[in-house]
Structure 1
Amino acid sequence: MLKSLVNKYNIAGPRYTSYPTVPYWNQETFLLKKWKSSLVQSFKESNSDEGISLYIHLPFCESLCTFCGCNKRITKQHSVESPYINAVLKEWHLYLELFDEKPIIKELHLGGGTPTFFSPENLKRLITGILNTSKLAPQHEFSFEGHPNNTTREHLQALYDVGFRRVSYGVQDYNPTVQKAIHRIQPFENVKKATELAREIGYTSVGHDIIFGLPFQTLQHVEETILKTKALLPDRLAFYSYAHVPWIKGNGQRGFDDADLPSADLKRKQYELGKKLLAEVGYKEIGMDHFALTTDSLYTSMINGDLHRNFMGYTASKTQAMIGLGVSSISDSWYGFSQNVKGVESYYNLLKDNIIPVYRGHILNDEDLVIRKHILNLMCQFETSWTDEKLYFNDLPDTLIKLKEMEKDGLLNIYSNKIEVTQKGQPFVRNICMAFDVLLQRKKPDTQLFSMTV
């Protein structure tokens, strides 16, 4: 039965870190002036109550991992560090000029690229530069992505000293054949050392990222990786499907053929096996593709109904405004999205002219805002309702008709004013969200824009 459902629903679809999804942003009507106004509105509404989130993109890596879909710049020249940090701080100051009071930072995340490409001193200078011009929310959460091969005690201590308490390490898979194919060689001993160092210093949440569906990856490889992961017992896990999108991400993902990738049926078996093994030691499934121990804030947020999803993935708390700093970063005012230019040189040139380095975006209309709420509910709580008439939208009857087939397959239950995703349907939540995605339904793409849902 599972195999037939996988075959039926394994289609290209968004991961819904936003709605509208990036390919459906209306760039013709987007203006930087409109984006700034939407951010100022959001800031006024929410800064004093909940604060803001910051995402900082640090794009540099010393080598290319061929599974990676992130925006990165490959170099071994660490002279790039200081100019880039100066630029990020300048961008931050351009945003500060928009606000009439100091931002209250509730959440801050360093992503990449490889944040630990940067020296501990430069990372500390970056964060200090931001903290000196802002306030901290009482329950703030600072996190960063660390590479197990180059995250040193000095990195961990420097970031701990400026408020970081959560780190996530990219593990992917421990099998040497798979690691060679994705150009990410990191022995278990390196991950063990980095994990133990973080805990020794005082980090309260250590996460591991694991991927299934990688080239040459077998069911046994996934089992061995999960068993090694269980030995370290990270506080939370991202266990997600490899997104093969070489038409978007360029040469990095062309290092192996489609024939080298596991079938959709095998990928689903890999996930179900991993999920079973993780449950045996107390991990709880959080939203889509995430797991956490009951002591971790991600689990607590799910139980309390506070789980949120944005361009950083799942987060334990919500802020209405999220500012993205650095190349390719995406910002979210709730009323609009904007994305920075992707090239380092273009980024520097715009900042030199005191221009916030945005190159595209989308201002949400009334319909967008309603559907965004439904998709966010489904992705975080596996249910949504329209008991509040403000959450009704014109295409809802057509949406429910599209969902009837999924109801017959046992993936969800449709009631008079709400739908609930069943446990059987949770692995197919992206497909369920697609029925609500009226922009996708109105204009089906001519070419493949998204990774496969399974």
Structure 2
Amino acid sequence: MAISLVQKYNVPGPRYTSYPTVPYWDDSQFSVAAWRDTYIRSFRESNTSEGISLYIHLPFCESLCTFCGCHKRITKRHDVEDTYIQAVLKEWALYCDTFPETPNIREIHLGGGTPTFFSPENLELLINGILSRANRMDNYEFSFEGHPNNTTRAHLEHLYKLGFRRVSFGVQDYSPVVQKAIHREQPFHNVAKVTFWAKEIGYTSISHDLVFGLPFQKLEDVIDTIEKTKSLAPHRLSFYSYAHVPWIKGTGQRGFKDEDVPKDQKKRQLYEVGKMMLEKNGFHEIGMDHFAIEEDSMYTAFHKGKLHRNFMGYTSSKTQLMIGLGMSSISDSWYAFAQNEKTLEDYYARLEQNELAVFKGHLLTDEDLIIRRHILNLMCRFQTSWTQETFPEKDIIIAQLREMEKDELVVMTADSITVTEKGKPFVRNICMAFDLRLKRKAPQTQLFSMTI
């Protein structure tokens, strides 16, 4: 009996917001001094032409969502806001003091945690502090993640005045049963309210985050969620596969049993029906997990071949240098990755010593840079080529791709591959064919979520 593609390819695998992926970073060659050399090199190469991106991690949440895999600190005490903002601004100052000239900012993204845990006034203080040491590029793009339950009109208005035009609201699913299981109970009314406020104020790109494969989620739940989403007419949305990784996230994802989570063909059906509904309603698939209407900048970037992917996810423009500020943030100079301390206490302690809060990282080798380019091409453009290019284990990679070609997931020429429509849901698996570090050292423990 022939096995299905889902059975064949549903294996643990990375989401490829970087290559090498974090578990395969080689920390032995890394140092803060080496990191400084790479980000200054990248700054010199790109600050004038394309600017830099900033990801600012705001980790506080008032309650724990059990589906979440982010680094966060649960508290209802809002007196933590000022201390954290001052720490982030100090970290930014440490970077700015080493830059050879004033940075030109192309992108700022506020992620979390829950950015709207912070008051509008404190968010304004944060952004003004960042911009006091920087210039904005003419085509800058500022965005933030908002929780529908605590995003106020004042949040939206304050950030709009500071130049924010993109906002993403976490929806996940509208089923009360699912919401209770993931400890994220928010009525449709709350999502509708903040979406309409954002439109009235003038935001030009409003996104909703949806998740399939959540505990107790049924097909009718996905259909109902997408019907409700359609009625609010966001400009783009993500339709993520729930990453069930309780061995990493501990008690947070143990609020339900493993058997409560849809798997394999049942989970795949949730995606296929959801995708069909989205495309029927004018949303076009962009890269992996993302959809946008034709008027949105992400759609334009995808069709112009300018879509980029980094630790912020997909972005509509590429910057070579991305600086991550805040607890657990990851920075990317293209030549190296660096991650900040993962706990507030360690993060604060490093800054009190007037040190960058970086605690680990990876310096990319020439081989890493080649493989990184191919994986980025596949994730952002569904194709890549290697004309006259050699890299280790090329024959093994080609053989694995040939097997995928037999399954009609890719179309191959002598020096290129293109992902087919049938293959798009398996793009993580296709990227894994190029992942030399994963091939050379298979994980001995569970590291990644399932690809399907």
TM-score band, normalised by the shorter chain? Answer: over 0.9
- Distance in 2 between residues matched to 1:220 and 1:416, nearest whole Å: 45
Matches within 5 A, 1:399-414: 399-414=397-412
1:47: Cα distance to partner?
0.3
Runs (4 or more) in structure 1 with deviation over 3 Å come to none
Cα deviation 1:194-235 (Å, max 9, x = unaligned) = 000011111001000000000000001000000000001110
Which residue of structure 2 lines up, in the alignment, with residue 15 of structure 1? Answer: 15
- Distance in 2 between residues matched to 1:335 and 1:107, nearest whole Å: 19
- Distance in 1 between residues matched to 2:307 and 2:390, nearest whole Å: 23
SS state at 1:109 partner: strand
Asked whether 1:442 is paired with 2:440, we answer: yes
SS state at 2:143 partner: strand
Asked whether 1:348 is paired with 2:352, we answer: no
Matches within 5 A, 1:195-206: 195-206=195-206
Which residue of structure 2 lines up, in the alignment, with residue 295 of structure 1? Answer: 295
1:100: Cα distance to partner?
1.2
- Distance in 2 between residues matched to 1:104 and 1:395, nearest whole Å: 40
Matches within 5 A, 1:273-284: 273-284=273-284
Which residue of structure 2 lines up, in the alignment, with residue 251 of structure 1? Answer: 251
- Distance in 2 between residues matched to 1:216 and 1:2, nearest whole Å: 29
Count of residues in correspondence between the two structures? 452
Matches within 5 A, 1:227-376: 227-376=227-376
Asked whether 1:214 is paired with 2:214, we answer: yes
- Distance in 2 between residues matched to 1:346 and 1:422, nearest whole Å: 46
Which residue of structure 2 lines up, in the alignment, with residue 181 of structure 1? Answer: 181
Identity %: 65
- Distance in 1 between residues matched to 2:285 and 2:444, nearest whole Å: 35
- Distance in 2 between residues matched to 1:100 and 1:26, nearest whole Å: 28
- Distance in 2 between residues matched to 1:233 and 1:272, nearest whole Å: 20
Which residue of structure 1 lines up, in the alignment, with residue 190 of structure 2? Answer: 190
TM-score, with normalisation over the residues of structure 1? Answer: 0.99
Change (3 A) 1:230 1:353: same
- Distance in 2 between residues matched to 1:100 and 1:439, nearest whole Å: 35
- Distance in 1 between residues matched to 2:324 and 2:281, nearest whole Å: 36
Cα deviation 1:156-183 (Å, max 9, x = unaligned) = 0111111100000000000000000000
Matches within 5 A, 1:148-167: 148-167=148-167
1:263: Cα distance to partner?
1.8
Contact 1:66–1:183, Cα closer than 8 Å, also in 2: yes
Contact 1:370–1:392, Cα closer than 8 Å, also in 2: no
Which residue of structure 1 lines up, in the alignment, with residue 80 of structure 2? Answer: 80
1:394: Cα distance to partner?
2.2
Which residue of structure 2 lines up, in the alignment, with residue 429 of structure 1? Answer: 427
Contact 1:148–1:191, Cα closer than 8 Å, also in 2: yes
TM-score, with normalisation over the residues of structure 2? Answer: 0.99
- Distance in 1 between residues matched to 2:45 and 2:12, nearest whole Å: 37
Change (3 A) 1:134 1:448: same
1:404: Cα distance to partner?
1.5
What amino acid is the match of 1:444?
A: A
Which residue of structure 2 lines up, in the alignment, with residue 50 of structure 1? Answer: 50
Cα deviation 1:144-164 (Å, max 9, x = unaligned) = 000001100000011111110
- Distance in 1 between residues matched to 2:285 and 2:38, nearest whole Å: 34
Asked whether 1:397 is paired with 2:395, we answer: yes
Contact 1:3–1:265, Cα closer than 8 Å, also in 2: no
- Distance in 1 between residues matched to 2:30 and 2:251, nearest whole Å: 30
- Distance in 2 between residues matched to 1:32 and 1:147, nearest whole Å: 34
- Distance in 2 between residues matched to 1:420 and 1:243, nearest whole Å: 26
- Distance in 2 between residues matched to 1:74 and 1:164, nearest whole Å: 26
SS state at 1:378 partner: helix
Cα deviation 1:246-296 (Å, max 9, x = unaligned) = 111121011111100012111111111111111111100000010000000
- Distance in 1 between residues matched to 2:20 and 2:128, nearest whole Å: 34
* Aligned counterpart in structure 1 of residue 449 of structure 2, from 416, 428, 451: 451
What amino acid is the match of 1:406?
A: M
Asked whether 1:417 is paired with 2:420, we answer: no
- Distance in 2 between residues matched to 1:189 and 1:300, nearest whole Å: 31
Which residue of structure 2 lines up, in the alignment, with residue 113 of structure 1? Answer: 113
Asked whether 1:383 is paired with 2:383, we answer: yes
- Distance in 1 between residues matched to 2:369 and 2:107, nearest whole Å: 23
Which residue of structure 2 lines up, in the alignment, with residue 38 of structure 1? Answer: 38
- Distance in 2 between residues matched to 1:214 and 1:244, nearest whole Å: 9
- Distance in 1 between residues matched to 2:386 and 2:275, nearest whole Å: 32
- Distance in 2 between residues matched to 1:46 and 1:224, nearest whole Å: 45
Q: CA RMSD in A?
A: 1.0
What amino acid is the match of 1:278?
A: L
SS state at 2:247 partner: helix
1:392: Cα distance to partner?
2.7
- Distance in 1 between residues matched to 2:390 and 2:274, nearest whole Å: 38
Contact 1:147–1:169, Cα closer than 8 Å, also in 2: yes
Cα deviation 1:350-399 (Å, max 9, x = unaligned) = 10110000011000010000000000000000100012x4x431222210
What amino acid is the match of 2:420?
A: T
Cα deviation 1:326-372 (Å, max 9, x = unaligned) = 00000000000000001101111110110000011000010000000
What amino acid is the match of 1:450?
A: F
SS state at 1:398 partner: helix
- Distance in 1 between residues matched to 2:53 and 2:394, nearest whole Å: 32
